[in-house]
């Protein structure tokens, strides 16, 4: 098993380098360079552009640029093209902003989807099942950004409270208690809005998974043994139905980076998703590439974790 | 019917239907049978005749869209059809054990087999963990799983098909039930393993003095294993007798055809006789006797009126117009 893990880890490292190289090439393939972001600016002279290109090594061959980027990333010297700020601390600060939103949304999704889906499966065809089915399809179909705007409009109009940003403007000097309550309130709507589609999709998935397991022969065996229905459902069925969701834990990791680009944009949340979006608009290659690198690393780590977890929870799977 | 003793289980006029989008499919249309204590009663028939549905209906294990629509299942004086769920649960796995056709999929893949057997002991006898484990070891040895101490913590996928069926038997017999319902217990197994499993069942039956309802399509198994036979066709019992009369003098043309389809030692050269036509589906039974379209001895009024099951010879009932005249009243 250990040799499997080691081999797998090495493969993933190699893959990570490959991904970063490809991403680097792709970003440079896209039209536009940092020097061309503002071509209509009359004060930008050709020699200025040449100077900018030289300063950012943009006049050198691609593979050398890649090596420069890799060297700077490893030594921590990497700086943003836009404001010459070091990239890693910049990302870290934004990450700390994104983290509460991500945690809240994920917690809401996972804690609501499972009970919803499981109950719908157990009471298949009931009013509860049909209601949740309709709601789920409604929330899958309505675009999240549209619903968010509706909610913002409604909250601002009827409750007259601010919802945009991480905190209300002017609250910086308030007492800590009020400041914290304000930040908490600002967290509520964005996290619910970004969780809604997730709940709709995941609860459907849980329901169908549970229904499939309930139809299995071993569930009939469990009933024939004289076990109470709760034991049959929550021990024999649920344990099997949950297996595929273990893999989904792995996919949660990369969502840390790109999970909420849209919602951070809508709610003016200074998080990682928005950082990436702004970096792309500004052709800020170091930031784009580093975010991409971290996302790739998290994806690979996540799938690695899934493989291990799968072997832990499913006795039929052995890592070799 | 055969004995004067009160039956352990008496099924009377049991009716089961499947309610699907295509309408109601009556899979079991008034089945009656009695199982005396300690005896083996076989229920035979082709695939799709409703015999497994009867087995599941007895313990009310039918899954949607199947439903019992009529009849009684009296076990030790209690009607299982109308019994409240908790009281029924106390019977399932304790007084009536059940084993299934597919040992491969009948065990939960994520729990060790020992735990799955111990569950029965825990729920019905309230045995604590340590004692349950000792009892499971004893049970595993009894059903011939060796070494039990190593096997007890293994998962179903680590066991062969025959082993899994042994585990199922251990599970069904853990509480020493009075009745075992064996729904095609050997169909999914190799022939050599089949013989072992049947032998094991026979041994355990003698030891525990339990009755067995054996559901099978294999007449060879019936001949060596059962005392009484019910032949089922299209959701009804068409013939019922003790094993010897049934094999010596089958009355119903369907039973006769089934027996002709059986290979016999010494008759190598003969071609096995197949029954012409196909089994009717529960959605569309032929009018009158359901076997009439396939029957070699069909009479004019067979497809107009259904024959009822009457005793044509002592302890030998048959539902066929051919014997309508010889009925003993």
Measured distance CA(A185)–CA(A183) in Å, rounded: 5
Q: How far is CA B67 from the centre of its chain?
A: 18
pLDDT at B1: 45
Contact B123 A231 (CB under 8 A): yes
A224 belongs to a structural domain? yes
A51 belongs to a structural domain? no
Mean pLDDT, to the nearest integer, of B140-154?
93
In angstroms, what CA-CA distances link B228 with A241, B2, B119, B239? 43, 9, 33, 11
Which comes out higher in pLDDT, residue A127 or A78? A127
* B185 contact partners, CB below 8 Å, separation of at least 6: B99, B100, B101, B165, B169, B197, B198, B201, B214, B216
pLDDT at A82: 80
pLDDT at B3: 46
For the segment A115-127, what is each residue's pLDDT rounded down to a tens digit? 999 999 999 989 9
Contact B106 A215 (CB under 8 A): no
A17 belongs to a structural domain? no
Residue A80 has pLDDT above 60, yes or no: yes
**Mind giving me the DSSP string for A120-146?**
HHHTTTSHHHHHHHHHHHHHHHS-HHH
Element holding A46 (H helix, E strand): helix A46-55
**SS3 state of residue B238:** strand
Give me chain A's average pLDDT, please. 87
Which comes out higher in pLDDT, residue A222 or A58? A222
Residue B113 has pLDDT above 70, yes or no: yes
Interface residue ranges in chain A relative to chain B, Cβ cutoff 8 Å: 124, 215-218, 220-229, 231, 236, 239-240, 243, 313-316
**B87 close to A (CB below 8 A):** no
A152 belongs to a structural domain? yes
Contact B92 A226 (CB under 8 A): yes
| Cβ atoms of residues B198 and B165 within 8 Å | no
Q: What distance in Å separates residue B69's CA from the closest CA in chain A?
A: 21
Measured distance CA(B229)–CA(B214) in Å, rounded: 9
pLDDT at A204: 95
Contact B108 A240 (CB under 8 A): yes
Tokens encoding B182: 């064996």
Element holding B20 (H helix, E strand): strand B9-20
Chain A: residue whose CA lies nearest to B118: A225
A18 belongs to a structural domain? no
Chain A residues near residue B106 by CB distance under 8 angstroms: 217-218, 220-221
B2 confidence band (pLDDT: 50, 70, 90) = very low
Give me chain B's average pLDDT, please. 90
For the segment A159-183, what is each residue's pLDDT rounded down to a tens digit? 877 788 888 877 778 788 888 888 8
Contact A225 B119 (CB under 8 A): yes
B46 confidence band (pLDDT: 50, 70, 90) = confident
Q: Which of B100, B108, B124, B185 to mutate to test the interface with A (most CBs of A within 10 A)?
A: B108
The CATH number assigned to the domain holding A221 equals 1.10.3720.10
**B237 close to A (CB below 8 A):** no
Chain B residues near residue A231 by CB distance under 8 angstroms: 119, 123
For the segment B189-202, what is each residue's pLDDT rounded down to a tens digit? 888 888 899 999 99
Measured distance CA(A205)–CA(A132) in Å, rounded: 13
Measured distance CA(B84)–CA(B8) in Å, rounded: 20
- Tell me the backbone φ, ψ of residue A202, rounded to 5 degrees: -65, -40
Residue B52 has pLDDT above 80, yes or no: yes
A124, A227, A239: residue with CB nearest B110? A239
Q: How many domains does chain A have?
A: 1
- Tell me the backbone φ, ψ of residue A80, rounded to 5 degrees: -70, 140
pLDDT at A142: 92
pLDDT at B202: 93
Residue B324 has pLDDT above 50, yes or no: yes
Strand duo B316-318 + B310-313: pairing: antiparallel
CA-atom Rg of chain B in angstroms: 21
| Cβ atoms of residues B98 and B180 within 8 Å | yes
Residue B81 has pLDDT above 90, yes or no: yes
Measured distance CA(A79)–CA(A57) in Å, rounded: 13
For the segment A234-279, what is each residue's pLDDT rounded down to a tens digit? 999 999 999 888 878 777 888 777 767 888 888 888 888 889 888 8
- Tell me the backbone φ, ψ of residue B296, rounded to 5 degrees: -75, -20
A111 belongs to a structural domain? yes
A283 confidence band (pLDDT: 50, 70, 90) = confident
Chains A–B, number of C-beta pairs less than 8 Å apart: 78
pLDDT at A114: 94
A316 confidence band (pLDDT: 50, 70, 90) = confident
Measured distance CA(B146)–CA(B108) in Å, rounded: 21
Mean pLDDT, to the nearest integer, of B205-210?
94
Chain B residues near residue A222 by CB distance under 8 angstroms: 108
**B25 close to A (CB below 8 A):** no
Start-to-end CA span in chain A (Å): 5
Mean pLDDT, to the nearest integer, of A202-209?
95
B329 confidence band (pLDDT: 50, 70, 90) = very low
Q: What distance in Å separates residue B199's CA from the closest CA in chain A?
A: 23
B89, B106, B111: residue with CB nearest A217? B106
Q: What distance in Å separates residue A212's CA from the closest CA in chain B?
A: 13
Q: What distance in Å separates residue B268's CA from the closest CA in chain A?
A: 39
Mean pLDDT, to the nearest integer, of B304-319?
87
pLDDT at B328: 46
**SS3 state of residue A4:** helix
Q: Which of B87, B106, B118 to mutate to test the interface with A (most CBs of A within 10 A)?
A: B106
Contact A216 B105 (CB under 8 A): yes
A205 belongs to a structural domain? yes
A109 belongs to a structural domain? yes
Residue B93 has pLDDT above 90, yes or no: yes
Strand duo B23-35 + B9-20: pairing: antiparallel
Chain B: residue whose CA lies nearest to A238: B110
Domain of A187 in residue numbering reads as 87-313
Of B189, B133, B141, nearest to B161 by C-alpha is B189
Q: Which of A123, A129, A221, A228 to mutate to test the interface with B (most CBs of B within 10 A)?
A: A221
Chain A residues near residue B172 by CB distance under 8 angstroms: 224
Q: What is the spatial order of strands in the sheet that B96-99 belongs to?
A: B96-99, B179-183, B211-216, B40-44, B228-233, B236-242, B316-318, B310-313
In angstroms, what CA-CA distances link B3 with A221, B33, B74? 32, 13, 17
pLDDT at A51: 78
Chain A: residue whose CA lies nearest to B153: A315
- Tell me the backbone φ, ψ of residue B307, rounded to 5 degrees: -80, 145
Chain B: residue whose CA lies nearest to A241: B110
**B324 close to A (CB below 8 A):** no
Which of A20-34, A280-294, B241-255 is least confident? A20-34
Chain B: residue whose CA lies nearest to A237: B108
Residue A138 has pLDDT above 50, yes or no: yes
pLDDT at B270: 63
For the segment A24-71, what is each residue's pLDDT rounded down to a tens digit? 888 888 777 776 666 667 777 777 777 777 777 887 888 888 888 888
ipTM over 0.85: yes
């Amino acid at each position: 098993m250990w040799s499997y893990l080691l081999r797998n880890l090495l493969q993933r490292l190699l893959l990570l380098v490959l991904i970063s190289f490809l991403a680097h090439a792709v970003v440079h393939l896209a039209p536009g360079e940092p020097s061309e972001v503002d071509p209509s600016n009359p004060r930008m002279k050709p020699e200025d552009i040449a100077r900018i290109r030289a300063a950012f090594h943009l006049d050198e061959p691609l593979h050398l640029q890649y090596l420069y980027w890799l060297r700077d990333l490893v030594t921590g010297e990497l700086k943003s093209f836009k404001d010459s700020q070091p990239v890693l601390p910049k990302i870290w600060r934004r990450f700390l902003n994104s983290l509460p939103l991500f945690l809240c949304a994920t917690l809401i999704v996972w804690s609501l989807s499972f009970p919803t889906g499981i109950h719908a499966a157990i009471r298949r065809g009931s009013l509860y099942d049909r209601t949740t089915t309709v709601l789920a399809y409604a929330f899958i179909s309505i675009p999240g950004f549209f619903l968010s705007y509706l909610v913002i409009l409604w909250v601002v109009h009827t409750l007259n409270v601010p919802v945009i940003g991480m905190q209300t403007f002017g609250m910086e000097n308030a007492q800590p208690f009020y400041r914290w309550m304000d930040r908490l309130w600002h967290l509520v709507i964005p996290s619910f809005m970004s969780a809604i589609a997730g709940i709709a999709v995941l609860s459907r998935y849980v329901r169908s998974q549970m229904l499939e397991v309930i139809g299995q022969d071993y569930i009939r065996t469990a009933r024939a043994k004289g076990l109470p229905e709760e034991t049959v459902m929550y021990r024999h069925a649920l344990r099997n139905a949950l297996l595929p969701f273990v893999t989904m834990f792995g996919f949660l990791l990369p969502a840390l980076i790109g999970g909420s680009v849209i919602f951070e944009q809508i709610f003016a949340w200074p998080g990682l998703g928005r950082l990436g979006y702004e970096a792309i608009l500004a052709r800020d290659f170091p930031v784009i590439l580093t975010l991409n690198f971290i996302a790739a690393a998290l994806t690979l780590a996540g799938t690695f974790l899934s493989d291990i977890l799968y072997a832990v929870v499913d006795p039929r799977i052995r890592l070799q | 019917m055969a004995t004067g003793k009160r039956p352990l289980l008496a099924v009377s006029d049991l009716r089961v239907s499947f309610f699907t989008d295509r309408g109601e499919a009556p899979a079991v249309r008034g089945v009656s049978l009695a199982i005396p204590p300690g005896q083996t009663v076989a229920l035979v028939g082709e695939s799709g005749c409703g015999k497994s549905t009867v087995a599941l209906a007895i313990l009310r294990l039918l899954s949607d869209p199947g439903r019992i629509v009529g009849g009684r299942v009296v076990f030790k004086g209690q009607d299982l059809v109308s019994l409240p769920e908790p009281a029924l649960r106390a019977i399932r796995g304790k007084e009536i054990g059940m084993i299934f056709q597919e040992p491969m999929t009948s065990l939960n893949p994520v729990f060790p087999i020992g735990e799955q057997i111990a569950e029965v002991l825990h729920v019905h006898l309230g045995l604590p963990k340590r004692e349950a484990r000792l009892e499971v070891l004893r049970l595993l040895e009894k059903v011939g799983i060796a070494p039990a101490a190593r096997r007890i913590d293994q998962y179903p996928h680590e066991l062969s098909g025959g082993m899994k069926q042994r585990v199922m038997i251990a599970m069904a017999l853990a509480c020493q039930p009075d009745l075992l319902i064996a729904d095609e217990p050997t169909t999914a197994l190799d022939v050599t393993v089949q013989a072992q499993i049947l032998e094991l069942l026979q041994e355990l039956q003698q030891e525990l003095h339990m009755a067995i309802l054996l559901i099978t399509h294999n007449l060879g198994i019936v001949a060596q294993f059962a005392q009484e036979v019910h032949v089922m066709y299209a959701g009804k019992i068409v013939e019922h007798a003790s094993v010897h009369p049934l094999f010596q003098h089958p009355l119903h043309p369907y039973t006769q055809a089934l027996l002709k389809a059986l290979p016999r030692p010494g008759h190598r050269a003969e071609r096995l006789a197949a029954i012409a036509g196909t089994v009717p589906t529960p959605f569309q039974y032929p009018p009158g006797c359901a076997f009439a379209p396939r029957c070699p001895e069909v009479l004019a009024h067979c497809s107009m009126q259904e024959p009822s099951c009457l005793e044509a010879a002592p302890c030998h009932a048959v539902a066929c117009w051919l014997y309508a005249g010889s009925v003993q009243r």
